[in-house]
Copies of this chain bind each other. A is one copy, B any other.
Amino acid sequence: MQYPNNIKKKYSQTINYSNRGMDLESLINDTNQYYLSEDIALIFKKPTPIGISEAVYTEHGRIIKNGYFKSPSTLDYNGIYRGRYIEFEAKETQNKTSFPLANFHEHQLKYIKRVLQHGGICFVLIQMNQFVYLLKGEDLTHFLNENTRKSIPYSFLEEFGYKIQEKYNPSLDYLKIVDEIYFKGETL
């Protein structure tokens, strides 16, 4: 049995000249696929945790006949980039003036602090007013510690968030921002 060493595959996604209409999750998955194929980072969306109440065996293997979605206590995406642990969450809102914190599970907000304490890179990507912002976990935590508000004003995102330019390929190059803010002055 041979395991070929050539593990780098060419990126072969259908050409998409516009990202308009792609939701945030699709933009991120698309971008992570690009990072993977170019061997830039290994970052994946975690599968949604499922509870299984009923499963049956068929000729095609085990099939779920009754399952339900569990609510996650960690963040949606994690992986490794430039030797560092990275974990983040992605959220969208249609609100124009503030981002409702109810978009997070409370466990997730606590968990962000823990990832930071353990030395990970942790942030949220927030799509709002047609832009995607990277908000560092440290800044989000600071906001939560200093405020009792149930939402983050858009002005806070504009001041402390880093705007990510959507482009062709990858469609949402958030690691460019990660380079700037977490690897200042370091060369790849």
Contact = CB atoms under 8 A, between A and B. Distances in A.
Contacts of A3: 106, 109-110, 144-145
Interface in A1-57: 1-5, 7, 39, 41-42, 44, 46-50
A113 interface: yes
Contacts of A87: 80
Contacts of A145: 3, 5
A87 B86 CA distance: 13
A167 interface: no
B67 A64 contact: yes
Interface stretch (A90-98, A115-123, A154-162): A115-123
Interface residues of A, number: 52
A118 B148 contact: no
Interface in A43-101: 44, 46-50, 60-69, 74, 78-85, 87, 101
Interface of A: 1-5, 7, 39, 41-42, 44, 46-50, 60-69, 74, 78-85, 87, 101, 106, 109-111, 113-115, 117-120, 144-145, 148-150
Given A64-B66, A80-B87, 17 more contacts: A1-B149, A1-B150, A2-B148, A3-B145, A4-B110, A7-B110, A7-B111, A39-B117, A42-B111, A42-B118, A47-B49, A64-B64, A64-B69, A65-B66, A67-B67, A84-B119, A85-B85
